[in-house]
C-alpha cells in the first residue's frame, strides 16, 4: 500500500501534514515529494513514471493558485489522482479548487475540499481498501469511532 503525496511548493507541506499523518495512522506507506508542474515539469514526469514502477498506487497532489499539478500528474498516469486544493492568500483556495475540478474529458482528478488534507488521505485509503481487506477493516473501525464520537458528544447550550 503506497501513496505518493506531491506538493508544488515547500509552503504546501504544512497543509499536507494532516494527510501524511492520517495515511501513516492507517499503516499506508507515504512518499512525499516537492515537484512543480510549472517549475520542474521534466522531473515531475520522470517521478510519476518512477513512482509507478516502485509500486505507488494512488497519488495525492496538493496545489494552490493555478493548481495544475494534479491534472498534469493525471495526464501522465492511469493511476488514481486526488487533487487537494491549497488555500491561498487572496482567493482562499477557490482558484485552486476550480482549476482542479475543471479537468477535460478523459483525464479525471478526484477532488476534495479546499485544505481538506485528511479527506484526501481518507479517499486514498478508500481506493486502496478495494484491494486490501485489512485496510477496509481499519476504515470501518475508523468510521465507527467517528460515529461513537458524535453519539457521545455532550451538548450544552449554556
> Tens place of pLDDT for every residue, the chain, 158 residues?
899 999 999 999 999 999 999 999 999 999 999 999 999 999 999 999 999 999 999 999 999 988 999 999 999 999 999 999 999 888 899 999 999 999 999 999 999 999 999 999 999 999 999 999 999 999 999 999 999 999 999 888 88
Cell numbers representing residue 114 in the block: 479546499
CB atoms within 10 A of CB 15: 21
Identify any residues that bridge with 85 across adjacent strands, giving them in sequence order. 63
What's residue 34's pLDDT?
97
Helix (H, G, I), strand (E, B) or coil at 3: strand
For 60, counting Cβ atoms within 10 Å of its Cβ (0-12 exposed, 13-18 middle, 19+ buried), the class is buried
E strands present in 29-134: 29-34, 58-63, 81-85, 110-111
**Three-state DSSP state, 62:** strand
Task: List the domains of the chain with CATH numbers.
Answer: 2-151 (3.40.50.1970)
32 DSSP β-pair partners: 5
Per-residue model confidence (pLDDT) at position 108 = 96
The dihedral sign for the CA sequence 125, 112, 105, 9 = negative
Give dist(CA 14, CA 79) in Å, integer: 25
C-alpha span between 145 and 127 (Å, rounded): 20
For position 156, what pLDDT does the model report? 87
**pLDDT for res 49:** 96
Residues 135 and 96: their CA atoms lie apart, in Å, by: 30
pTM: 0.94
- The pLDDT of residue 155: 87
> Distance from CA of residue 148 to its chain's centroid?
26
Amino acid at each position: 500500500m503506497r501513496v505518493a503525496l506531491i506538493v508544488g511548493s515547500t509552503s504546501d507541506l504544512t497543509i499536507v501534514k494532516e494527510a501524511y499523518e492520517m495515511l501513516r495512522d492507517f499503516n499506508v506507506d507515504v512518499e512525499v515529494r516537492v515537484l512543480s508542474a510549472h517549475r520542474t515539469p521534466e522531473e515531475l514526469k520522470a517521478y510519476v513514471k518512477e513512482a509507478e514502477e516502485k509500486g505507488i498506487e494512488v497519488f495525492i497532489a496538493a496545489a494552490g493558485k493555478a493548481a495544475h499539478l494534479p491534472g498534469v500528474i493525471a495526464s501522465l498516469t492511469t493511476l488514481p489522482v486526488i487533487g487537494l486544493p491549497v488555500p491561498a492568500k487572496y482567493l482562499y483556495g477557490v482558484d485552486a479548487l476550480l482549476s482542479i475540478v475543471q479537468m477535460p474529458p478523459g483525464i479525471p482528478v478526484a477532488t476534495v475540499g479546499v485544505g481538506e488534507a485528511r479527506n484526501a488521505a481518507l479517499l486514498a485509503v478508500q481506493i486502496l481498501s478495494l484491494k486490501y481487506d485489512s485496510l477496509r477493516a481499519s476504515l470501518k473501525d475508523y468510521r465507527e469511532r467517528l460515529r461513537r464520537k458524535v453519539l457521545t458528544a455532550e451538548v450544552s447550550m449554556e
